[in-house]
Amino acid sequence: MQGFDTYRDLEAKQQPVWNDEKTLNGVLSQLSTQPPLVFAGEADVLKSRLAAAARGEAFLLQGGDCAETFEAATADKIRDRVKTLLQMAVVLTYGASMPVIKVGRMAGQFAKPRSSDTETRDGVTLPAYRGDLVNGYDFTEESRTPNPERLLQGYHVSASTLNLIRAFTQGGFADLRLVHDWNKGFISNPVNQRYEALAAEIDRAVRFMMACGVDFGALERTEFFVSHEALLLEYERQLTRTDSRTGDIYDTSAHMLWIGERTRDINGAHVEFLSKVKNPIGVKLGPTTKLDDALRLIDKLDPEREPGRLTFITRMGAGKIRDVLPGLLEGVRDAGALPLWVTDPMHGNGITTPNGFKTRRFDEIMDELKGFFEAHREVGTYPGGMHVELTGDDVTECLGGAENIDELALEARYESVCDPRLNHRQSLELAFQVAEELKRRH
């Protein structure tokens, strides 16, 4: 067994029961010969960007679907998610006068932890949906049975999604001179109009600089990274490669991987596996996190205290963040560590409406974001980024926002197969409000 396979001796939570061992082994061996999706050097670049954010010199914007699906990996939907993130990044950059690091929850966010192994509808009990990498969302026995072939399909969908993202962000589409165009195709509304006004200001500044002879070559491309929860360890393991430059080991399924709230057990397989790869790593921290948990995670995942290596993504809930976060920030700082602190204002604020929708209130999401900035102001640490579930589509999944989506409206366009996402307009609105918070940092 290789040094980085020690995770196989430990308990791995949230893994599917595949049953079909033969097919599984065939698929895993095929995966192990596929080309890497990302390069080690790219993961290193992201790490250096995240190190700047941890020092308070940049801000991380990480966002995308709760669960991507194979079916929704279409050119239009991928483009609109990329456009939404680019627009949010412009709003944040302009507001905060600070570089914004763009990381999609994209091109691999296909596996989900579940609170129950099964789901029962009208007296019928079937395996829970664990993400397209494992089984189908349709509530039939055939679809819900974990199918190892999906691992290979997931790899290919990730590859084609990433290819399109690379084309969009490197091929001229993300050129800052097209800042107006990113707003096209979305239904006009006050938030879009606010964006238009900002885009016009940027346009003027760019034209002025061009008239002064500044070379805008650098603006034609933008850096864009991808990330997902490293949940299915055997999938991640097969995409783990040795970097020919350095001999170091990288998980080449994404630039950044994170460990979820349910799998961050310090003695568990997920923490062990990710402790062995060199990528930048995130860990979700929920409201029950003790300082000792955070310190042990730092020692295990970042023993060298390498800048940009470790990101803590806190998801406390709007009602708890102001009580829980300051103590963690203080204790970690006093221990001499400098992880990047990012807020996930989504996962601590879930509710179910009387008409049966899993949703979140825009105001509570915003409240947790504000609590995050307050906690950092109180302790004197850096609020380094945000992690959000969003889509470029015009869905109705989260309550509130400027268009004031109410419980009844959730019935109109609720399309998520997992958690509710901010729609395009709510995402922009959030960015404008966070930009105000970032301005107060200076």
Closest chain position to ligand PEP (CB): 260
Q: Which is nearer to ligand PEP, 129 or 186 (CB)?
A: 129
- Residue 44 binding partner per list Co ion, ligand PEP, none, with a CB distance cut-off of 5 to 8 Å that depends on partner kind: none
- Give the footprint of Co ion on this chain (CB under 5 A): 66, 419
Q: Which is nearer to Co ion, 31 or 128 (CB)?
A: 128
Q: Is residue 284 part of the contact set for ligand PEP (CB under 6 A)?
A: yes
Q: Which is nearer to Co ion, 81 or 237 (CB)?
A: 81
In the complex, what is the shortest distance from the CB of residue 328 to ligand PEP, in angstroms, rounded to a whole number? 15
Interface pick for ligand PEP out of 260, 268, 326, 339 (rule CB under 6 A): 260
Q: Which is nearer to ligand PEP, 397 or 419 (CB)?
A: 419
Q: Is residue 339 part of the contact set for ligand PEP (CB under 6 A)?
A: no
- Residue 261 binding partner per list Co ion, ligand PEP, none, with a CB distance cut-off of 5 to 8 Å that depends on partner kind: ligand PEP
Q: Is residue 102 part of the contact set for ligand PEP (CB under 6 A)?
A: no
Q: Is residue 347 part of the contact set for ligand PEP (CB under 6 A)?
A: yes
In the complex, what is the shortest distance from the CB of residue 265 to ligand PEP, in angstroms, rounded to a whole number? 12
Of residues 364 through 423, those in contact with ligand PEP by CB under 6 A are 419
- Residue 231 binding partner per list Co ion, ligand PEP, none, with a CB distance cut-off of 5 to 8 Å that depends on partner kind: none
Q: Which is nearer to ligand PEP, 126 or 418 (CB)?
A: 418
3-class SS string, the chain? CCHHHHHHHCCCCCCCCCCCHHHHHHHHHHHCCCCCCCCHHHHHHHHHHHHHHHCCCCEEEEEECCCCCCCCCCHHHHHHHHHHHHHHHHHHHHHHCCCEEEEECCCCCCCCCCCCCEEEECCEEEECCCCCCCCCCCCCHHHHCCCCHHHHHHHHHHHHHHHHHHHHHHCCCCCHHHCCHHHCCCCCCHHHHHHHHHHHHHHHHHHHHHHCCCCCHHHHCCCCEEEEECCCHHHHHHCEEECCCCCCEEECCCCEEEECHHHCCCCCHHHHHHHCCCCCEEEEECCCCCHHHHHHHHHHHCCCCCCCCEEEEECCCCCCHHHHHHHHHHHHHHCCCCCEEEECCCCCCCEECCCCCEECEHHHHHHHHHHHHHHHHHHCCCCCEEEEEECCCCCCCCEECCCCECCHHHHCCCCCCCCCCECHHHHHHHHHHHHHHHHCCC
The residue type at 167: A
Specify the stretch interacting with ligand PEP by CB under 6 A; choose among 260-268, 296-304, 359-367, 370-378.
260-268
Contact present, 381 and 329 (Cβ < 8 Å) = yes
- Residue 49 binding partner per list Co ion, ligand PEP, none, with a CB distance cut-off of 5 to 8 Å that depends on partner kind: none
- Residue 307 binding partner per list ligand PEP, Co ion, none, with a CB distance cut-off of 5 to 8 Å that depends on partner kind: none
Of residues 116 through 135, those in contact with ligand PEP by CB under 6 A are none
- Residue 327 binding partner per list ligand PEP, Co ion, none, with a CB distance cut-off of 5 to 8 Å that depends on partner kind: none
Q: Which is nearer to ligand PEP, 261 or 272 (CB)?
A: 261
Q: Is residue 315 part of the contact set for ligand PEP (CB under 6 A)?
A: yes
User: Binding-site residue total for ligand PEP (CB under 6 A)?
Assistant: 9
Can you give the binding site for ligand PEP, defined by CB under 6 A? 66, 113, 260-262, 284, 315, 347, 419
